[in-house]
Amino acid sequence: MKHTILIFSILCIVSCGAQSPIISLDDKGLDGIINNAYYKDVDNDLDEYVGTWVYENGDTSFTISFAKKTQSFNGKWYEDLLVGDYQYIANGVEVLNYLPRLTDPNINDGQHTIDGNGVIYKNYFPKCSECGINERRIVLYFSDLDRNYLSSEIAIRHFTESGVEKIKVWLYDSDSAVLPYEGAPEEIRVPYGEYVLVKQ
């Protein structure tokens, strides 16, 4: 029995030490990234985005589904993440559909087409004229798997309008890319711009 208690105590100490210190997502990167730290969503900023959201304009639609992953370990530190996948339909034709990846057990947290946990404010790029001065948005990486040489991001803002939950999405090119071959596409297949999506 003493050996069992001793082993349990050691495991608890090792487990607690493996995720230390705990740092708010809001403070991530301020002092550099600390190995084995746990970058935690202490204010639950990611929670309000969980679910499925849809933008519709005639026969064009953009659907995003998000899930929250807690204590995801990337080999260096632990972090809470918002991960997601999406579908884009243009003029009634499905251009791409990554939605099934969100529930695929073979896809790990870092392999989704949308992921991240960056906290940004009103005057951070892309600026948000309608945001309150201390209102927080989330910025995430955004991938088109067939054009993964391109770097894109989305900033997202949650709001309620006339009792309906919505998110505003700013989708933009985040870095210059080295094209893999002459004539390679220079943009992802979802057009860059702003979208307002409604919670389903």
First to last CA, the chain: 53
Residue 4 has a pLDDT of: 43
Residue 10 has a pLDDT of: 38
CA atoms of 106 and 118, how far apart (whole Å): 25
Q: 162 is in which domain, residue-wise?
A: 2-199
C-alpha angle 96/99/104, rounded to 5°? Answer: 125
Cβ 82 vs Cβ 66: under 8 Å: yes
Residue 110 has a pLDDT of: 87
Task: Tell me which DSSP letter residue 10 carries.
Answer: H
CA atoms of 173 and 143, how far apart (whole Å): 11
Give the residues of the chain that fall short of pLDDT 70.
1-19, 30
Residue 178 has a pLDDT of: 86
Residue 7 has a pLDDT of: 42
CA atoms of 174 and 169, how far apart (whole Å): 14
C-alpha angle 121/72/128, rounded to 5°? Answer: 15
Indicate the pTM of the whole model.
Answer: 0.87
Spatial neighbors of 149 by CB under 8 A, at least 6 apart, are 177, 178, 179, 180, 184
Task: Tell me which DSSP letter residue 30 carries.
Answer: B
Task: Tell me which DSSP letter residue 125 carries.
Answer: S
Residue 28 has a pLDDT of: 81
State both tokens at 8: 């349990």
Looking at the structure of the chain, the number of domains it has is 1
Residue 18 has a pLDDT of: 55
